[in-house]
C-alpha cells in the first residue's frame, strides 16, 4: 500500500490497442489491455478497491512518463528490456513468485512452457497454477506473460486475447509476422 495512496493513470495508444497504465509511488502497478471506456471504468474501480486509493487520471504524470516512453520504444522495436520500478502490490504468494521469475528469467525473443516455469520456482507439476498466475498478471507486456506457451507449441491462453499474444510474439521475432 502506498503511503499517500495516490495512484495515477492514463490511457496510451499502442500497436495492440489502447493500454491503461497506472503507477503508484512504488512504480508501475497496472497495465490493462483494450482500455475502451467500459474496460477503463472497471479497471479504475478494481485499482480503487484493491489498493484502497483513489486513482487519478493524469496524462502529464511524471510517474507515467518513463513507462510510456519505454512501452513506445518496445513497440517500435528499439527496446528489448524494460527497466521500470514495479509495484507488485496487486499480486502475492505463488503468483508473485512466478511473475517475478518470468520478469527476471525469460528475456525478449525467448519463450518458456508453463511446466518449465513451474519447475523454475520449485513447483514442478504446477503448470495449471502457472497458467492462473499468468491470467492474473497485473503488469502484462512489462512482465511478459505473452512469453509463456504450451509445451506442444500451442500459444496457450492470454488475458489480452490470442491475437494480442501473437502480435507481441511476432514483434519479438518468436513468431513470423502475420501476412495480413
Positions marked catalytic: 145
Q: Indicate the pTM of the whole model.
A: 0.92
For residue 101, give the DSSP letter.
Answer: H
pLDDT tens profile 59-109: 889 999 999 999 999 999 999 999 999 999 999 999 999 999 999 999 999
Which cell is 36 given?
475502451
User: pLDDT: is 53 or 143 the higher one?
Assistant: 143
Average pLDDT of the chain, as a whole number:
93
Q: Which of 115, 157, 154 is nearest to 135 (CA)?
A: 157
pLDDT tens profile 134-172: 999 999 999 999 999 998 888 888 989 999 999 999 999
pLDDT band per the 50, 70, 90 thresholds, residue 28: very high
- The rounded distance, in Å, linking the Cα atoms of 70 and 115 is 30
Which cell is 90 given?
496487486
Amino acid at each position: 500500500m502506498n503511503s499517500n495512496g495516490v495512484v495515477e493513470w492514463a490511457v496510451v495508444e499502442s500497436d495492440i490497442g489502447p493500454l491503461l497504465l497506472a503507477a503508484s509511488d512504488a512504480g508501475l502497478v497496472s497495465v490493462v489491455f483494450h482500455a475502451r471506456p467500459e474496460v477503463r471504468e472497471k479497471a479504475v474501480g478494481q485499482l480503487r478497491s484493491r489498493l484502497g486509493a483513489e486513482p487519478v487520471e493524469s496524462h502529464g504524470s511524471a510517474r507515467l512518463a518513463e513507462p510510456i516512453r519505454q512501452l513506445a520504444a518496445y513497440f517500435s522495436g528499439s527496446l528489448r528490456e524494460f527497466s521500470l520500478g514495479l509495484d507488485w502490490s496487486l499480486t502475492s504468494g505463488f503468483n508473485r513468485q512466478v511473475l517475478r521469475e518470468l520478469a527476471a528469467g525469460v528475456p525478449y525473443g525467448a519463450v518458456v512452457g508453463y511446466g518449465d516455469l513451474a519447475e523454475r520456482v520449485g513447483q514442478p507439476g504446477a503448470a495449471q497454477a502457472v497458467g492462473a498466475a499468468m491470467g492474473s498478471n497485473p503488469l502484462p507486456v512489462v512482465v511478459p506473460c505473452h512469453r509463456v506457451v504450451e509445451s506442444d507449441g500451442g500459444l496457450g491462453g492470454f488475458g489480452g486475447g490470442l491475437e494480442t499474444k501473437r502480435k507481441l510474439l511476432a514483434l519479438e521475432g518468436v513468431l513470423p509476422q502475420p501476412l495480413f
